[in-house]
Amino acid sequence: MIHKSPGIGADAITFSFSPVETIQTGVRVFPAGSFAATDVFTVDQGIRTPYVQVYNLNAQQQLTKNVALEVGYVGSAGRKLFRYRDINQVNPATGTVRFPALVYVNQFESSANSNYNSLQVGPSFRNFDFSVVKNNKPTELVSMQLRMDVFNKFNHPNFANPLWPNFGVDFLQNGMDAAGRGTGFLPITTTPDVGTGNPFLGGGGSRNIQFAARLSF
């Protein structure tokens, strides 16, 4: 049985549900009569589990009473990462391919690597909160509390990671536009509370003063 559905490119995506009963060397898994695709996918029999190593080193030096400089090195190394690789590319020496009856043979394998190295210099995340509370008891049955909460008392500038949207579930909020420019990134001046979608309610924002009164009876 053959089932076709619209796909990207000239050929439709073809699914075949009539494999041979026994897999044998040199024998097609799907008979020619039930499989007419030109692009196929396969899985490397020696596929491995990928892993990523992350490491960092930070040094901080106080310059004045209220100013400190922090320098940080952040790096990571990914090994045996998943990727698709076309194993049916033309051999430059012979001008032939391994599977002449097919066009693309995209193999899913764990042969990719990644390296990331970054020297980070800038202000660190610092957030000091302050509260003043006064409890009053006008009568024996009534009590009242007055309070003032100051978030980020010293108004220290904290900035969000511009790449935060790329880690979101909604992929439509990030990616590339028609001109090839990155979209969905946060401005470099965005604070963490705005970056997470909770202005003033989340941590890391500018100074915020809150007054409250509670009456209990």
**What are 52-103's pLDDT values in tens digits?**
999 999 888 888 877 777 888 989 999 999 999 999 999 999 999 988 888 8
Calculate what percentage of the chain has a pLDDT beyond 90. Answer: 30
pLDDT band at residue 16 under the 50/70/90 scheme: low
Q: Are 163 and 116 in contact (CB under 8 A)?
A: no
Q: What angle do CA 52, 55, 59 make, to 5 degrees?
A: 165
pLDDT band at residue 145 under the 50/70/90 scheme: very high
Q: Is 185 exposed, middle or buried (0-12, 13-18, 19+ CB in 10 A)?
A: middle
CA–CA dist 199, 125 (Å, integer) = 17
